[in-house]
Amino acid sequence: MTDITDLDMDEVLQIDIVSDVVCPWCIVGFKQLEQAIADTGVSAAIKWHPFELNPDMPEDGENLRAHIMRKYGSTAEQSREARERLTGLGAGLGIDFRFTDDMRMVNTFKAHQLLHWAGPEGLEHPLKMALFEAYFKDGRDVSNIEVLADIAGAVGLDRQEAIQVLQDAHFAEAVREEQGFWTENGIQGVPAVVFERRHLITGAQGAENYAAIIRQLVDNEAA
């Protein structure tokens, strides 16, 4: 892959987003960015890139609330408050977060392989959105091959081919290589948004802040 310092500004703003499909702040950050793009009126090309919040997550996953409490040392009350905050924030952005007590954190390596396959088909973005919705709204297991194939079919990909891609792990090595590229370039948490392969912004920054960043980039290029 090209080094993140090598590309120049073009007529279309290139935006690379490193994220995981089970990361609530990733979909929040994207929706904020999407609003900023609309508000500024720029033309932008979005490219999604893989990141696993929990690469060592076992096949059967882990209760989400227990996982968050264990990983971050939060209490049950803090976990509840965080969910309520996300639910309210999401509602304002058109995201329907439906957290439940039995919701599970799962391994997402297969989901990233599916997204990699969808890229050349021109369906990476709708598949990414569908995976976010499947996990956060519908509570589906996005580590399960049959579930992933159903989601792929729903966005226009060939369901049977999706199963074959995942069973054969055809893109596993490519996904690992891409994950390595981004971590080697300093990405330790997501969402990570890279504008024009030069300007890294981490975390969900809010629509106004994203809009300010975009305007500054455009103004600097025009100067």
Q: Where exactly are the structural domains of the chain?
A: 13-61+107-222
- How far from the centroid of its chain's Cα atoms is residue 42's Cα? 22
- pLDDT at residue 202, rounded to an integer: 95
Give yes or no for a contact between 86 and 97, defined as CB atoms under 8 angstroms apart. yes
pTM strictly above 0.85: yes
3-state secondary structure of 189: coil
With vertex at residue 193, the alpha carbon angle to CA 192 and CA 197, rounded to the nearest 5 degrees, is 120
- With a cut of 70, say whether residue 5 has pLDDT above it: no
pLDDT at 223: 63
Answer for the pair 143, 110: CB distance below 8 angstroms, yes or no: yes
pLDDT at 11: 67
pLDDT band for position 1 (cuts 50, 70, 90) = very low
CATH superfamily assigned to domain 13-61+107-222: Glutaredoxin (3.40.30.10)
Q: Answer yes or no: are the C-beta atoms of 123 and 158 closer than 8 Å.
A: no
The stretch 44-63 carries a mean pLDDT of 93
